[in-house]
Every structure is written in C-alpha cells, then in structure tokens.
C-alpha cells in the first residue's frame, strides 16, 4: 500500500462524501422542519440525473450542455418537489410517521415507473465537460479533476446553507419552525409556506446531487434505491435535522466506503451499514444535536 | 383489535364479533380445503403464495400494529428462514425436518440480535436501526458467494417426495398458516399481547406501572422474526428457490403496504392485504409491466383516503388509532 493509492482513494471517498452531503442535507432539512421521512428524496435525485442527461443530450453532449444541465436540472426538480408538497404532502402533516413514510414511498414507486416510461430502461451516460476531464498530480498521487470539482462544490453548498440558515431572515424562520412550529404560527408566520419552501429547497439539493453524479456514473433505474438508504442512515447518524451532522456523517460514510473498497474489496458493500449500525448503537441520538 | 372489546363492559358486542369471526373462519377454511378440486393448478399455486405472504404480513403486524414499532425491514427474517432451509438442503446431508425446524429458529435468533440493539431506540431511530442492520444482513447474503451463491440465489432446492405436488404444498402451507394464525391470535389476546398494546399506547405509563417495556418489545420482535422465518420456510416449499431479493428493502416495504392495506388494528388485516396484493399483482401483470406504478397509485389513495385500512374501516374499534 503506497501513499499515492491511499491518498487518491481518500480523495475519491471525500468527494463521494460531498455528493452524499448535498443529497442528505436536503433530506435532513426536510426532516428537521417538516418532520417528514421523505423516501422520495432518492427519486428526486434520480430525476435530477435523468433531466441533466436529457439537457446535455439536447445540446449534443457539448461542453455547455453540462453547465446548463447543472443549472436547469436542480431547478426542474425543485418545481417537481413544489408540486408534490402542495399537491400531496401538505395533507398528511398531522398523520403518523408510518403514513407519511408510505406516502413518500408511493411516490418512489410512481417515479420509478414514470422514469422507465419516459427514458426507457437502457443505461445512459453523460460526458464530463472538457475542462474537468483527466486528472492532476499532487505529491505523486493522481487525482481525478471531476472529483476535485465535487470537493469544491460540496463546501460551497455547505457554506450557502449556513449563510441561509443563520444569516437570512427566512433561514431564521426555517430554524424557528424546526424548533417550535406552533410558536411560529402564533407569531403570525404561515408555517405551511415555510414547509413548501424547505421542501422545494430539499428537492433542489437532491436534483443538484443527481446532476453532479450524472457524468461520473451510468444513469439508470435503481439509482434512487442506492442513494436513499445511505442518505437516511447519514441523516439519522448525523442527528435528525442537523445539517452539520449530515456533513460529518457524509464524510464518514464516503471515506469509510472508499477505504473499504481499498482494503477489503470483497465485502466493501457492507461497510456503510456496519458504520451506520455501530454509530447508531453507541450514539443512538446521532452525532450532533437533533433539531427535534 | 382492541383491549376494550375483550373486557366485560363490551361483552355482547365482543361475543357477537367473536362468533362471527369464528363462523367466517370455519366457512373460509372449509372452502379453502375444497379449493384444489375446483380451480386450476396455477391458482392453487397462487393461493399457496398468498398463504405464505399472509403469514409474513401477520407476523410483521405483531410488531408494527400491536407493538407500535416502526419496523422497516421485516423481509430480513423471511429471507433468513428461507436461506437457512435452502443452505441446509443443498450444502449438508441433514434431514429435511431439521431444516424446517432450524429455519424459523435461525430467523428468531437473528431477530433477537437485531432486536436487542433496536429496542433501545425509539420511533424513527428504531426504524432506521432496523433498516441499517437489516441491510447489513442483506449485504452479507448478497456477497457471501460460497454459502449463498450471491446474486444468483439457490435453485432446485430438494424437498421430500410428499411435498413435490402443488396440492400437497397447498395443504401444507394452509395448515401451517392456520395454526400460526391461531397461535399469533392467542398471543395477541394473552396478557403479554395486551401488555404490548399498553406499551404501544403509553410507554411511559407502562414503564411506571412496572412493565419492562424493552423486554416486551424484544419478545414481540423475536416472535415476529420466528413466524417470518416460518413463512420463509413455506416460501421454499412453494418456489423451491431463494434469491437475495427476498431480503431486499422493497420486499419489506411491500409487507408494510399489505399490513396498512388490510388495517393495522385488525388481526386479519394483514391477511386481507396479502390476498389483495398477491392477486392484484398477478392480474395487473397480465395487462401491463408497470405494476409498481399501479401499486404506487394504490398506496397513495390508501394513505390519503383510507389510512385505517380496509378492515379497519369496516370494523369500528374503540381502540386508539393503531400503528406508529
């Protein structure tokens, strides 16, 4: 095991952690504010990837296609989320966990077949834009440029979320709604509009995650199932509703998975579940303070 | 299913309902016993699948409906039961009876281990830990090629001569289902079952009354695991093959949907849900490949308009709304 292999694997793990973070940050926001367990979050992520693919195909897989896809796909997913929230979710806010969970699961089933109907079942792939292709060398380790790009985007998203939640009026209302919804209502703020905003923002983040992962993987059915269980575990390990907890546990999961692939490739698939299980057993309430 | 209905206050209604239930069940069993002579072999096979699934769903409801625990990965115990039989029958020379006995026992053991950790947590955290540990078991079975044949599953599992015909499988699954339902019903009506309801409706009060909430939950979890493992054994009898998809999260969600569809508060709810879903998936499958789309729309309607389930809607119970 030389340093270069270890470093590049760590690098890949970290950048994968960034994707996990972007997706699970949306999920944890929805958890924290709406108190809804949104299984459809993985489907929104998948939709983000498929929409990004279609946009880039429309522009002939050219370099501009990717950037446009990165801009438009998350917004498209955000609009879809808004429709879901206003059309369905707002009717079940008073139901039990199980019902909310099953409602979002019904969307998983519907979205899965709709994607199959619209895009077909064959695997799809999208080009990495020229400027982010190839890799660069750092202290002898060869690191892929696209992963470096992800490592830049992740912290930008984290910073943006932090600025929004702690520095803007709207962000403060979101946090207040997470802490005490009734109080927010009493103060004359319409909390259901906050819910719509947060759900749309979560959808945007899921779509962004999907658009970002699209060039690095085969875009296929089943993307939703792969990410959603990870995202759920990340959110719970991090502490429900806590964005920073999600960041920490995303990195733990991403790096843990990457090191698993490096050291014990045969059973790497079980690593994230082992990490999640152990963390939940030793720290059942999550690494950081839950918003609940 | 309500604690109130078995109390003396509600006796007339409770008694009438009990007789009605008994009469319906007896008629149902008589009809089912005659079934293989009336319908084609394919439907006999399909009914055997229904019985297996009904047992699985009812076992989940002990934890979900009666225990009020957000158990998200019940398929694991189903799969473990099935895989235990499959592995014993293909890799060892142990007799079939041993495999049949070990199937549910191994499932119960896994349930004990997983449950031991899970009952420490509450609500959503409980659910997430069942999901994490369940996925762990799934991943192990998916990856352990030498033992489980990985992604391909195990096929052509040998079973004794007398269990090779569709009819004999049908009667075996029917008898085991009926016996298990009776046992599960008695458990739900036993002091243990009633205490379990109390821990669901008011865990804190139960605790202060001296009830060991965690131990009751763990016991329910293990019993549910045992019967799910038994359902897994039946699955092997019906299909004579196993695959990792038995333990997939989608399978577990399907079982949850069955419980919800029939009604979490009614003992026979999950059975009704299983009947509907198995038949529906078959009929819809004849017309379209988009069964999941249909299931999704169905589930959506169910959650929005009939959250108490079909039986729950018809049987107005005095019970507090069950489930989680």
Interface confidence (ipTM) of the complex:
0.84
The string of pLDDT tens digits covering residues A87-133 is 998 888 888 888 888 899 999 999 999 999 999 888 888 878 877 77
Q: What is the pLDDT of residue B140?
A: 87
- With contact defined as beta carbons under 8 Å apart, do A213 and B101 qualify? no
The string of pLDDT tens digits covering residues B149-195 is 888 889 888 888 888 888 889 999 999 999 999 999 999 999 999 99
CB contact under 8 A, B256 and A98: yes
Instruction: Compute φ and ψ for A219, nearest 5 degrees.
Output: -85, 115
Chain B contacts of A229, Cβ < 8 Å?
Answer: 131, 135, 249
**Residue A118 sits at the chain B interface (C-beta within 8 Å):** no
Number of other CB atoms surrounding residue B25 within 10 Å: 15
Q: What is the pLDDT of residue B14?
A: 64
Q: What is the pLDDT of residue A43?
A: 94
**Residue B221 counted as domain residue:** yes
**Shortest alpha-carbon distance between residue B226 and chain A (Å):** 22
Residue A46 clears pLDDT 70, i.e. is over it: yes
Q: pLDDT band at residue A153, thresholds of 50, 70 and 90?
A: very high
Chain B contacts of A273, Cβ < 8 Å?
Answer: 132-133, 135-136, 139
Average pLDDT of the segment spanning B46-71: 93
Task: Calculate what percentage of chain B has a pLDDT beyond 70.
Answer: 93
Phi-psi map region of A35: left, alpha, beta (phi>0 left; psi -120 to 50 alpha): left
**Residue B247 counted as domain residue:** yes
Q: pLDDT band at residue A154, thresholds of 50, 70 and 90?
A: very high
Residues 203-232 of A with CB under 8 A from B: 225, 229, 232
Q: Each residue of A177-194: b (16+ CB within 10 Å) or e? A: bbeebeebeeeeeebeeb
The number of domains in chain B is 1
Q: What is the pLDDT of residue B226?
A: 97
Q: What is the pLDDT of residue A64?
A: 77
| Residue range of the domain that includes B136 | 4-314
Helix (DSSP H) and strand (DSSP E) numbers for chain A:
11, 2
**Residue B120 sits at the chain A interface (C-beta within 8 Å):** yes
Number of other CB atoms surrounding residue A250 within 10 Å: 29
Q: DSSP E strands: which ranges in chain B?
A: none
The string of pLDDT tens digits covering residues A185-203 is 888 888 888 889 999 999 9
Q: What is the pLDDT of residue B25?
A: 82
Phi-psi map region of A117: left, alpha, beta (phi>0 left; psi -120 to 50 alpha): alpha
- Alpha carbon distance A41, A179 (integer Å): 22
- Specify the range with the lowest mean pLDDT, choosing from A40-49, A66-75, A221-230, B77-86: A221-230
Residue A205 clears pLDDT 50, i.e. is over it: yes
Q: What is the pLDDT of residue A252?
A: 93
Q: pLDDT band at residue B1, thresholds of 50, 70 and 90?
A: very low
Instruction: Compute φ and ψ for B154, nearest 5 degrees.
Output: -115, 130
Q: What is the pLDDT of residue B9?
A: 38
Helix (H, G, I), strand (E, B) or coil at B154: strand
- Sign of the alpha-carbon torsion through B129, B130, B133, B138: negative
Q: pLDDT band at residue B323, thresholds of 50, 70 and 90?
A: very low
Residue among A242, A95, A90, A234 at smallest CA distance from A175? A242
**Residue B319 counted as domain residue:** no
B136, B256, B297 ranked by CB distance to A270: nearest? B136
CATH number of domain containing B59: 1.10.3470
Q: What is the pLDDT of residue B7?
A: 38
Task: Calculate what percentage of chain B has a pLDDT beyond 90.
Answer: 46
Residue B4 clears pLDDT 50, i.e. is over it: no
Chain A contacts of B64, Cβ < 8 Å?
Answer: 98
Please give the mean pLDDT across all residues of chain B: 86
**Residue B321 counted as domain residue:** no
Q: What is the pLDDT of residue A152?
A: 92
User: B114 is written with which tokens?
Assistant: 């997983």
Average pLDDT of the segment spanning A52-72: 84
User: A112 is written with which tokens?
Assistant: 């899965």
Q: What is the pLDDT of residue A1?
A: 63
Which has the higher per-residue pLDDT, A281 or B260? Answer: B260
Tell me the DSSP string of B109-122. Answer: HHHHHHHHHHTTS-
């Amino acid at each position: 095991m030389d340093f270069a292999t270890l470093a590049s694997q760590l690098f890949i793990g970290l950048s994968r952690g960034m994707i996990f973070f972007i997706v699970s940050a949306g999920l944890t926001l929805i958890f924290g504010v709406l108190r809804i367990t949104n299984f459809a979050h993985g489907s929104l992520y998948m939709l983000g990837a498929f929409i990004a693919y279609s946009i880039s195909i429309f522009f002939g897989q050219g370099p501009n296609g990717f950037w446009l896809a990165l801009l438009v796909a998350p917004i498209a997913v955000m609009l879809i989320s808004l429709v879901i929230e206003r059309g369905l979710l707002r009717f079940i806010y008073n139901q039990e966990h199980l019902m909310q969970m099953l409602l979002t699961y019904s969307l998983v089933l519907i979205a899965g077949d709709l994607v199959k109907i619209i895009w077909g079942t064959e695997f799809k792939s999208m080009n990495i834009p020229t400027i982010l292709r190839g890799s660069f060398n750092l202290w002898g380790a060869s690191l892929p440029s696209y992963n470096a790009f992800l490592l830049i985007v992740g912290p930008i998203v984290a910073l943006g979320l932090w600025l929004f939640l702690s520095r803007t009026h709207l962000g403060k209302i979101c946090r207040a709604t997470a802490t005490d919804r009734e109080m927010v209502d009493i103060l004359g703020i319409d909390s259901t509009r906050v819910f719509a905003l947060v759900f749309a923002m979560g959808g945007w983040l899921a779509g962004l995650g999907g658009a970002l992962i699209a060039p690095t993987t085969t875009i296929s059915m089943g993307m939703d199932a792969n990410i959603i269980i990870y995202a759920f575990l990340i959110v719970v390990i991090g502490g429900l509703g806590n964005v920073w907890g999600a960041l920490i546990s995303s990195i733990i999961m991403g790096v843990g998975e990457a090191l698993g692939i490096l050291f014990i490739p045969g059973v790497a698939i079980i690593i994230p579940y082992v990490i999640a299980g152990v963390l939940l057993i030793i720290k059942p309430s999550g690494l950081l303070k839950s918003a609940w | 299913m309500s604690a109130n209905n078995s109390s003396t206050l509600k006796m007339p209604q409770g008694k009438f309902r009990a007789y009605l239930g008994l009469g319906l069940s007896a008629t149902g069993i008589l009809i089912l016993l005659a079934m293989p002579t009336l319908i084609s072999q394919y439907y006999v096979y399909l009914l055997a699948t229904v019985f297996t699934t009904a047992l699985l769903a009812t076992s989940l409801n002990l934890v979900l409906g009666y225990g009020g625990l957000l158990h998200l990965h019940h398929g694991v115990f189903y799969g473990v039961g099935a895989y235990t039989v499959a592995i014993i029958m293909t890799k060892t020379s142990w007799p079939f009876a041993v495999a049949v006995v070990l199937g549910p026992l191994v499932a119960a053991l896994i349930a004990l281990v997983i449950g031991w950790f899970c009952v420490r947590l509450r609500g959503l955290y409980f659910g997430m830990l069942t999901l994490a540990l369940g996925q762990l078991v799934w991943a192990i079975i998916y990856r352990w090629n030498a033992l489980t044949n990985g992604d391909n599953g195990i096929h052509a599992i040998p079973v004794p001569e007398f269990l090779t015909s569709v009819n004999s499988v049908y009667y075996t699954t029917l008898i085991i289902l009926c016996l298990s339902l009776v046992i599960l019903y008695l458990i739900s009506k036993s002091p243990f079952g009633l205490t379990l309801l109390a821990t669901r409706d008011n865990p804190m009060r139960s605790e202060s009354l001296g009830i060991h909430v965690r131990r009751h939950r763990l016991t329910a979890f293990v019993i549910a695991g045992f019967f799910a493992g038994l359902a897994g054994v039946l699955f092997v009898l019906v299909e004579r093959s196993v695959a990792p998809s038995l333990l997939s999260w989608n399978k577990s969600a399907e079982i949850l949907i069955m419980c919800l569809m029939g009604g979490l508060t009614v003992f026979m709810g999950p059975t009704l849900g299983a009947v509907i879903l198995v038949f529906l998936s078959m009929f819809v499958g004849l017309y379209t490949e988009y069964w999941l789309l249909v299931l999704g729309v169905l589930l959506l309607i169910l959650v929005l308009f009939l959250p108490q389930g079909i039986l729950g809607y018809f049987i107005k119970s005095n019970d507090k709304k069950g489930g989680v």
